[in-house]
Structure 1
Amino acid sequence: MFTNEVIASFNELEMVLYKYVMEHKEKVVYMRIRDLADEAHVSTSTIMRFCRKLNCGGFSEFKVKLKLLLDEGQNMNIKNGQHVLAEFFERTSNEAFTRKLDEAAEAVAAAGHVFSIGIGSSGALAEYGARYLSSFGTFSTYLKDWYLPIHANLHDSITIALSVSGENRFTLSHIHKLKEKGSKILSITNNMHSTIAKIADVNVSYYVSEEFFDEANVTTQIPVIYILEELARKVYEKNNQ
């Protein structure tokens, strides 16, 4: 309901009203228009303009939509973390998962240089993964600058790309740029059927239930940390056999 475009269209008085509504949502859904006008120190005509900008036919419709927004937030079902992780760690003993992780370690061990990329929480973990690999003697670089010009030949490199959905357009564009320069791609995604997983040379998937809170992806990243750390240890073992 409150999109960035709508909020940007608010004038000064409408912004005052918006801030009041956001701070008193539970109270506003039961208020009369005159009560809201008095409490927010705006006119009823300002409230009606505010409602029209939100595609509401009137104040009553606005209250209905606001109530639905409140109910949606209260009914969000966040799964028990222990249950989600128990399912993942059960799969780590699966032969197919172990084989994929071993294949990934072989590819990293054979590379002359390792890059890592990701955005958001995946970016934070990509940076952690690069540091963890380097701690085990495999020098790795986290590429933070998405507009970094790449002119060198990267045929002796591998890029570890992290993405929960496997569909992030920024990560995809970065992958295409690196592939054009010859880098192999190792993707770590939540499932093997995503676009990033399909275009990668090697993919390790962890399959946990994706969870969202409002528009934020709050899927646990513990499986990614486990994969990155196990990968680093396996690469070390292969380089020292």
Structure 2
Amino acid sequence: MFSYDQVQQLNRLEIEIYKYIVGHPAEVSTMTIRQLADHSHVSATTILRFLKHMGYDGYAEFKFTLKEQLRQDATQPLAQTVVPMRTFFDRMNLPDITAKLHRVAELVHQARMVVLIGSGTSAGLAAYGSHLFANFGLYSLMISDTSQPHPVQQQDLSDTVFFALSVSGESEDIIEQSVYYRQSGAKVVAITASSHSTLAGIADVVLTYDTPEVQAISGGSTLSQLPVVYYLEQLAMIIQPLT
């Protein structure tokens, strides 16, 4: 329904519309344009602009296409999670993504130390990444306490690569630690689901996975962390021949 090339051209507000639609397709199929605007926290005009960028003449055409897609997905229960993941992996061979991965790999290769941080689910992934990099011979550490105080004396961390893992890119502790490490000379690599987040703006390199949230049985939402695992493992494989 939405191609990667189209999504890449969206601005911050339009990205939020895209993520809401793909994460809540059944609900959106019954909404008026005003209701969708309210749920996406944008104006109806922004919705129409978004749809035009996506190749639709108007809201009616979009809803018709969405309902047809839902009918097809009804015979494929995993489509809601598989389709976004397929879109993510389809773009992994694009030159700009490959260039970013190789740039990060070179930074890690030149660094004396790699530090990873994350909270919640991202904390487990940070621990996994630290262990993974250590297996490839890198001096790798994980910050388990995201709110730990900074050293009183100024540190020279110019030989450090700091990986900040955050789904939203708006975690206050993660942002504060990222600012400290960057001000101390470290290179900051953000792995986040929000390319327009505060964390993305701080980082030297951003590895993003603008995939939508999916409704969980509990009524909340969840987001696949498979892209994060992919990024970490891909980096390790690129780094291996360099070490």
- Which residue of 165, 171, 190 corresponds with 1:168? 171
1:185-221 CA-to-partner distances (Å, cap 9, x unmatched) read 0111123221111111111112211335478551100
Q: Contact (CA 8 Å) 2:179, 2:202: kept in 1 or not?
A: no
Q: Tell me, in whole angstroms, the C-alpha distance in 1 between the residues paired with 2:213 and 2:188.
A: 23
CA distance in 2, matches of 1:226, 1:108: 17
Cα distance in structure 1, aligned partners of 2:86 and 2:124: 24
Which of 195, 202, 206 is 2:205 aligned to? 202
Root-mean-square deviation over aligned CA pairs = 2.1
Tell me if structure 1 keeps the 8 A contact 2:81–2:214: no
Which ranges of structure 2 fall in alignment gaps of 5 or more residues?
A: 1-77
- State the Cα distance separating 1:226 from its structure 2 match: 0.5
1:120 paired to 2:123: no
Count of residues in correspondence between the two structures: 163
Amino acid at match of 1:220: S
**What is the aligned partner in structure 2 of residue 93 from structure 1?**
93
Q: Is residue 2:242 matched to residue 1:238? A: yes
1:184–1:201 contact (8 Å) kept in structure 2: yes
Normalised by the size of structure 2, how large is the TM-score?
0.62
What displacement does 1:177 show?
Answer: 2.1
- Structure 1: state its 5+ residue gaps: 1-77
Larger-Rg structure: 1
Q: Which moved more, 1:127-136 or 1:143-152?
A: 143-152
Q: State the SS of the aligned residue for 2:229.
A: helix
Asked if the contact 1:104–1:203 (Cα under 8 Å) also holds between the matched residues in 2, the reply is no
For residues 56-98 of structure 1, give each alpha carbon's deviation from its aligned partner in whole angstroms, at most 9, with x where no partner exists. xxxxxxxxxxxxxxxxxxxxxx962222211111111212111
Question: Retained in 1: the 8 A contact 2:115–2:161?
Answer: yes
TM-score, normalised relative to structure 1: 0.62
Q: How does 1:167-186 map to 2 (within 5 A)?
A: 167-186=170-189
After TM superposition, the structure 1 = structure 2 runs for residues 133-152 of structure 1, keeping only pairs within 5 Å, are 133-145=133-145, 146-150=147-151, 151=153, 152=155
- Between the aligned partners of 1:237 and 1:216, the Cα distance in structure 2 is 42
